[in-house]
Structure 1
């Protein structure tokens, strides 16, 4: 298997797990007259979803690096992206997301004294932080820091990667060669646009400007639509 398909298998596994963790509970709550979820189960669902979403952010950045090497150094591609390197890059994505998720979860020392109704389809961390009567500024700071490391920095790396790819593609004189180079990136760029666009618009904006209904609508993109479309998007390339 080529490195691209190795990373795609990781991405497919992430999408499968993410949909399994979040969507059944969301559907149950939509059709239930009195939806209820205990706090430990809510915290578990939120942590696992956060871990999977973080791992996908980092994995998409790794896949951008794979595309850069494939287009910029095609003759050395198999040497640079060998088996141990691919395994190390994937394991780093999973490990870093586990560390960041653990930091965010351990910082959740919340005290509830009022309503315990979450205005969301699932146990989502920003919706959960609106319920406690204790100060949540530290938790919001942790989410901001995590968002910088898992959203903004990987997204910036992806943008720089595509700038380098565009520079290389523009130097290709044949239309067929240019089309072949662009076809290797089109599916990845589509997934990045949908996933990062939805995640950044949710987690990297001031909470004073957040709209619960809009956040729920956007969460459908990275919670249900993206895992559903990823196999279709990547199969179109083939």
Structure 2
């Protein structure tokens, strides 16, 4: 039976990541494991930051919002992928697709800005340590986080409304594992060229400018570190910066490549592969790279374990 016949006229069909084969079961199991790990890591990070007073700093405040965004983002996408694979029913309603697009754009856009805010925090902490308490006050960090959520939400409202307004008169079988703007544009029979220019402008604001600012921040950090006399401090800072930049490139690179190309250059297999990085891989890596490699977080985890198991040696 053709996918078009599996739903009502207002439904979309998500062809998903997997076909029904033995190898697909292996990949599905791996995806399910990543989903559980991502939820566990980020939830643990939020609980640790909330519980340990030593983690009540601007840096960890922003990290807690990053973890919350990652939890919401994977929860917006992966459970549907899992349910579709297990049930074999891959339809998603027009409203459900709109909700996925809105939440995805809100969280992706907000996270782009939040990663930029975190790089600014790192820059001030290392390059201007004496001014850090004044520049990165509690009020400033709250405004940063709130601004990321607000701007991301407003951007998502605009794009979701415009995308859903297009007529979808072709096949409604979407060769993707979630409702994403580029995949939806390929199903529209209207001229979307003007809207694609708007997507390009949003890409400059949410992707290219933050990525450039993050890169400049880390270059300044490395230049400052090179002036340090301690070789151990230099080695530690180089290691931290390199890990951070790897995750940033893995997030922004596929995101930029997906959203800043014309519709005609998109291929389903390539779009799905790239989307895996900024929807699944980086939410799993973020707690490890930004948090669990930090001594303060490891100490907080040990304290929680000791308080939970006081008689354990």
- 1:214 partnered with 2:264: no
Deviations 1:80-127 (A, max 9, x none): 111001001111111111121122122222112221111100111100
- 1:237 partnered with 2:294: yes
Contact 1:7 1:59 in 2 (8 A): yes
Contact 2:186 2:263 in 1 (8 A): no
Equivalent residue number for residue 120 of structure 2: 65
**Cα distance between partner residues in 2 of 1:78 and 1:185:** 22
Aligned residues: 238
Deviations 1:24-46 (A, max 9, x none): 11222334434111111101111
Shift of 1:225: 1.2
Change (3 A) 1:41 1:174: same
Equivalent residue number for residue 75 of structure 1: 130
Determine helix, strand or coil for the equivalent of 1:94: helix
- 1:142 partnered with 2:198: yes
**Cα distance between partner residues in 1 of 2:203 and 2:151:** 13
**Cα distance between partner residues in 2 of 1:32 and 1:221:** 25
Change (3 A) 1:188 1:4: farther
**Cα distance between partner residues in 1 of 2:236 and 2:288:** 19
**Cα distance between partner residues in 2 of 1:138 and 1:115:** 22
Determine helix, strand or coil for the equivalent of 2:173: coil
Change (3 A) 1:126 1:96: same
Task: List gaps (5 residues or longer) in structure 2.
Answer: 1-55, 296-313
Deviations 1:42-94 (A, max 9, x none): 01111111110000000000001001101101122122111001001111111
Superposed CA RMSD in Å reads 1.6
> Aligned match of 2:214 in 147, 151, 158?
158
TM-score, normalised to structure 1, is: 0.94
Structure 1, 208-217 or 179-188: larger mean CA deviation: 179-188
Shift of 1:187: 4.4
- Greater C-alpha Rg: 2
- Superposed, 1:99-178 pairs within 5 Å as 99-108=154-163, 109-178=165-234
TM-score, normalised to structure 2, is: 0.72
